[in-house]
Amino acid sequence: MVWTPNSPYNDLPDLPPPIDVESKRILKQVAEARAALASLDQAARRIPNPRVLLNSIPLLEAQASSEIENIVTTADELFAADQLDEDSTRPEAKEALRYRVALLDGVRRVRDRPLSATTLITICSTLQAREMRVRDLPGTFIGNPATREAIYTPPDGQRLLMERLDAWARFVHTSTALDPLVVMALAHYQFEAINPFSDGNGRTGRIVNILLLIDRGLLSEPILYLSRYIVQNKAEYYRLLLAVTAEAAWE
């Protein structure tokens, strides 16, 4: 089946893609990124009170990751809301604060058990403050809300989505021959392409990025402020994700 934007991508291939995902160019970037992560991790281990980072960085990450989904708050508002009674907090701030809860809970979970579809459902449920399940209704639309022009239509059908998520988890846990950063990148695209939930897929996927780094030992704590860069390059982030689907532009 040839992919088209307005038809459910039920033939989304499982990982890994049939190309060299560790080309010389990619591995050069991976080496630089791993060195930067190692420096960050060592710096965090050396500071006298690491709780300072654990109290602040996940909150900043929550604000930025939520902003990507047009849930707009400020860091000042979130730091203030974190100290105030919940009744006086704007709904947008409450939603962003739940991101930090989901992230820290995800870290505890990944230290006890492997990432799975159940982990993803739990993270998304915390984000949405209600019990989430894998989509069982058709009609998911990703595109221009004004013109109704579709950009991408994810797979449909609860059974198919669960099969895709199970295959996603198997790839994450069996791809030990690949560099963890390559695995993270491939898994991030695949999760967003599966788009298994009715809402919260972007934020769930970005939390999982950090969980994968902790699971593979590249970070000891969730102190990577990853979403700030995505906010600054939001259009390019979405363009590159779509290019994988439309052009197999994995590199």
165 CB neighbour count, 10 Å cutoff: 20
- Please check whether residue 236 is in contact with residue 7, taking contact to mean a CB–CB distance below 8 angstroms: no
Alpha helix positions (H), the chain:
24-46, 51-68, 75-81, 91-112, 117-128, 158-174, 180-194, 201-215, 227-232, 234-247
Dist. CA 136–CA 144, nearest whole Å: 23
Q: Identify the pLDDT of residue 2.
A: 76
Q: Is residue 3 part of a domain?
A: no
The CA distance from 127 to 7, in Å, is 28
> Measured between alpha carbons, how far is 212 from 169 in angstroms, rounded to an integer?
11
Number of domains in the chain: 1
Alpha carbon of 94 to those of 89, 107, 125, 205: distances in Å?
A: 6, 20, 14, 20
Q: Stretch 115-126: mean pLDDT, rounded? A: 94
**Residues near 154 by Cβ (< 8 Å), separated by ≥ 6?**
8, 9, 12, 140, 142, 193, 194, 195
Q: Against a cut of 0.85, is the pTM above it? A: yes
Residue at 7 is within a domain: no
Mean pLDDT, rounded, for 185-190: 98
Q: Is residue 12 part of a domain?
A: no
Please give the structure tokens belonging to residue 115.
């990432």
Q: What is the CATH number of the domain that holds 47?
A: 1.10.3290.10
User: Which pLDDT belongs to residue 78?
Assistant: 80
Q: How much is the pLDDT for 174?
A: 95
Domain range enclosing 117: 24-247
Is 49 a member of any domain?
A: yes
Q: Which residue has the tokens 């069996």?
A: 174
Among 223, 127, 247, 237, CA closest to 185: 237
Residue 108 placed within a domain: yes
**Residue 19 covered by a domain:** no
Which tens digits make up the pLDDT trace of 10-38? 999 999 999 999 999 999 999 999 999 99
Q: For residue range 142-182, list pLDDT tens digits in order.
A: 888 888 899 999 999 999 999 999 999 999 999 999 999 99
Does residue 10 sit within a domain?
A: no
Give the three-state DSSP class for 79: helix
Q: Up-side HSE of residue 52: CA atoms within 13 Å toward CB? A: 8
Who contacts 249 (Cβ-Cβ below 8 Å, separation ≥6)? 240, 243
Note whether residue 183 is domain-resident.
Answer: yes
Do 192 and 241 form a contact (C-beta atoms < 8 A)?
yes
